[in-house]
């Protein structure tokens, strides 16, 4: 992947694993906030902000889902990097599904980070929210960008429903924490482990959490209850990639999501929500993981399968039917 040190790109990837072989995710670097009133120093305005994303990256995918659900396509512009990441890092191309950097005209995403901070040190990651006026990266932490998109731009997009309402925020945060640690990041800790012990530890935590989520979704349609929330949209990008990539490529092979009755129905429900299917580019997803991660897949051969159909009917309506029957009794 490479990284930048004092504004200079280094192709040799800094060690992202601890001495015991456990995968360690680097912290994000830009943490400012866009607010509706501008009290943060960055005011929400149509046409001012630009998202740099990858269709392959689950973290960037979260932001594209919120952008679609909030109907912000004409408010926040976007560039999509090529799915193949070489030792030069993310780059822009005119390939299928890609959108060049129409704002700064760069070839590599690292140039955006250097424009924001000439002596930037760290990893060059997506998503990155760019301010066209101040010519800087406002934020590259997906969890924070998601919350900005949920509320800050409601004057121009669709502000309903609120995916992180105040009465549910503590519960959503409590749900997000183990899902991030053991599922969203857990698949990476499994796939990039450099020791058997590290792999098995991450593997066991991943599937223990998926088992818990399966049980939770047997009693209610969504993670926080009767309505879709941010917690669901943070889990979805990992689930939609799981059977196609993580089962084989990352050795997360105890179960497929398809093997979980509740998780698989839940996944199809989320996929079928208006606007969501258009954010899923399985070609980019598979190409990136299989072609770019040579340490995991030295041959760079992209798996043809599995056959996936997220448009099949799901059973989540059973909860509403049960509630209606109970009310009638």
Query: Out of 49, 108, 113, 188, which one is annotated catalytic?
Result: 188
Alpha-carbon torsion 191, 196, 198, 201, what sign?
positive
Find the Cα–Cα–Cα–Cα dihedral 236, 240, 245, 247, rounded to 10°: 80
**How much helix, strand and coil, in percent to the nearest 5, is found in the chain?**
40, 10, 45
Report whether the peptide linkage leading into residue 299 is cis, meaning its omega lies within 30 degrees of zero: no
Query: Out of 49, 52, 57, 289, which one is annotated catalytic?
Result: 57
DSSP 151-195: HTTTTTS---S-SS-GGGHHHHHHHHHHHIIIIITHHHHHHT--S
57 is an active site residue: yes
Instruction: With beta carbons less than 8 A apart as the criterion, state whether 275 and 266 touch.
Output: no
Residue 38 neighbours by CB distance under 10 Å:
12
Spatial distance between the Cα atoms of 132 and 130, rounded to a whole number of angstroms: 6
Spatial distance between the Cα atoms of 169 and 101, rounded to a whole number of angstroms: 35
* Residue 295 CB-half CA count within 13 A: 14
Three-state helix/strand/coil letters over 50-67:
EEEECCCCHHHHHHHHHH
Spatial distance between the Cα atoms of 102 and 125, rounded to a whole number of angstroms: 18
188 is an active site residue: yes
Task: Spell out the residues 6+ positions from residue 118 whose beta carbon is closer than 8 angstroms to its own.
Answer: 7
Residue 22 neighbours by CB distance under 10 Å:
18
Spatial distance between the Cα atoms of 294 and 90, rounded to a whole number of angstroms: 15
Active site residues: 57, 188
């Amino acid at each position: 992947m490479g990284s930048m040190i004092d504004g200079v790109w280094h192709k040799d990837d800094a060690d992202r694993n601890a001495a015991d072989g456990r995968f360690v995710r680097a912290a994000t670097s830009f943490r400012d906030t866009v607010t509706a009133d501008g009290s943060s120093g960055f005011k929400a305005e149509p046409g001012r902000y630009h998202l740099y994303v990858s269709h392959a990256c689950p973290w960037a995918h979260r932001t594209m889902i919120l952008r679609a659900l909030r109907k912000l396509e004409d408010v926040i512009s976007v560039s999509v990097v090529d799915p193949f990441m070489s030792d030069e890092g993310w780059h822009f191309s005119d390939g299928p599904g890609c959108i060049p950097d129409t704002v700064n005209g760069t070839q590599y995403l690292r140039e955006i980070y250097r424009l924001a901070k000439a002596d930037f040190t760290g990893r060059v990651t997506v998503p990155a929210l760019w301010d066209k006026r101040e010519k800087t990266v406002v934020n590259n932490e997906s969890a924070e960008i998601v919350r900005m998109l949920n509320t800050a731009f409601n004057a121009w997009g669709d502000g309903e429903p609120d995916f992180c309402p105040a009465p549910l925020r503590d519960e959503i945060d409590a749900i997000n924490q183990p899902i991030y640690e053991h599922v969203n990041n857990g698949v990476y800790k499994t796939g990039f482990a450099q020791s058997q012990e590290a792999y098995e530890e991450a593997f066991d935590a991943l599937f223990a959490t998926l088992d818990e989520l399966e049980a939770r979704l047997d009693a209610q349609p969504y993670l926080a209850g009767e309505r879709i929330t941010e917690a669901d949209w943070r889990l979805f990008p990992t689930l939609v990639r799981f059977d196609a990539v993580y089962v084989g490529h990352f050795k997360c092979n105890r179960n497929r999501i398809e093997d979980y009755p509740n998780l698989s129905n839940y996944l199809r429900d989320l996929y079928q929500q208006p606007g969501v299917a258009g954010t899923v580019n399985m070609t980019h997803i598979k190409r990136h993981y299989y072609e770019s991660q040579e340490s995991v897949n030295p041959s760079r051969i992209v798996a043809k399968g599995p056959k996936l159909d997220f448009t099949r009917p799901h059973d989540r309506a059973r909860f509403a039917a049960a509630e209606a029957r109970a009310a009638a009794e």
